[in-house]
């Protein structure tokens, strides 16, 4: 889902649906403290990721992964950790990456507490502002269910499996669904690769 971030705030907001726009505005009035996290804040973000994974039943990377991603990209300005706190409680965080005129939302997490303050919407809005200030044309919310747009529109309120749950959130931001070629593995050692696939299947994580 690509959001055009080149316009002014009100134009970008006008493209969103009413519910998303309302939640963003509430988040901006909720006395939340938004800031760019430092290396020391990655631990707080990792804790939020674990909370989010448990709440929404998805796997998360081990803590060192997020630290390594930050260390590789944030010092050069190609990534940012955006956080939202309220009265000392860390409520939400996202890691956003950028290259050229594009920015991507890759990792996002939120607390189980004070969800009525809409911190998840607030940090996404901060990401849009960051991407625009960096000179990006688009902010990419990434994955959606692999269905055509008619099916997406017909079923997004009914389904929550796979990417359907996050699609309901992403849909409200006024972006455009853009399809691109999927990822492919280049196999250098077929024997090792077949062992790898067998191990994934044994763990219940089959691959095509």
- Decide if 119 contacts 84 (C-beta within 8 A): yes
pLDDT exceeds 80 at position 45: yes
Tell me what pLDDT residue 155 has.
Answer: 54
Lowest mean pLDDT among 17-26, 63-72, 148-157: 148-157
Question: Residues 23-39: pLDDT tens digits?
Answer: 999 999 999 999 999 99
Tell me what pLDDT residue 168 has.
Answer: 67
21 vs 155, residue with greater confidence = 21
pLDDT exceeds 60 at position 201: yes
Tell me what pLDDT residue 74 has.
Answer: 97
16: nearest Cα among 156, 120, 168, 172: 172
**What's the DSSP call for residue 176?**
B
What does the pLDDT average to over 65-84? 96
The answer to whether the predicted template modeling score (pTM) of the entire model surpasses 0.95 is: no
Write down the mean pLDDT value for the chain: 87
Residue with tokens 């919310």: 141
Strands 102-110 and 2-4: unpaired
129 is written with which tokens?
A: 């502002």
Nearest-angstrom CA–CA distance, 20 and 84: 18
- Domains detected in the chain: 2-182 (3.40.630.30)
The dihedral sign for the CA sequence 129, 144, 49, 63: negative
Question: Residues 119-163: pLDDT tens digits?
Answer: 999 999 999 999 999 999 999 987 665 655 655 555 555 555 555
Lowest mean pLDDT among 9-18, 42-51, 164-173, 194-203: 164-173
Lowest mean pLDDT among 10-24, 128-142, 169-183: 169-183
134 is written with which tokens?
A: 């960096």
């Amino acid at each position: 889902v690509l959001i055009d971030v080149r316009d002014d705030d009100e134009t970008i907001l006008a493209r969103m649906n009413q519910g998303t726009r309302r939640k963003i505005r509430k988040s901006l009035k909720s006395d939340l403290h938004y800031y760019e996290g430092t290396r020391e804040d990655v631990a707080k973000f990792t804790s939020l990721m674990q909370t989010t994974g448990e709440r929404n039943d998805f796997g998360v990377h081990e803590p060192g992964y997020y630290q390594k991603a930050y260390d590789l990209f944030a010092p050069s300005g190609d990534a940012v950790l955006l956080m939202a706190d309220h009265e000392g409680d860390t409520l939400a965080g996202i890691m956003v990456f950028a290259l050229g005129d594009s920015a991507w939302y890759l990792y996002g997490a939120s607390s189980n507490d004070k969800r009525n303050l809409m911190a998840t919407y607030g940090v996404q809005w901060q990401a849009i502002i960051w991407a625009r200030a960096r000179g990006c044309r688009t902010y990419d919310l990434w994955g959606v269910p692999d269905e055509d747009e008619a099916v997406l529109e017909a079923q997004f309120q009914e389904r929550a499996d796979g990417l359907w749950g996050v699609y309901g959130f992403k849909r409200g931001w006024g972006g455009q669904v853009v399809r691109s070629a999927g990822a492919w593995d280049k196999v250098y050692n077929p024997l090792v690769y077949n062992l790898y696939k067998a191990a994934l299947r044994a763990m219940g994580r089959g691959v095509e």
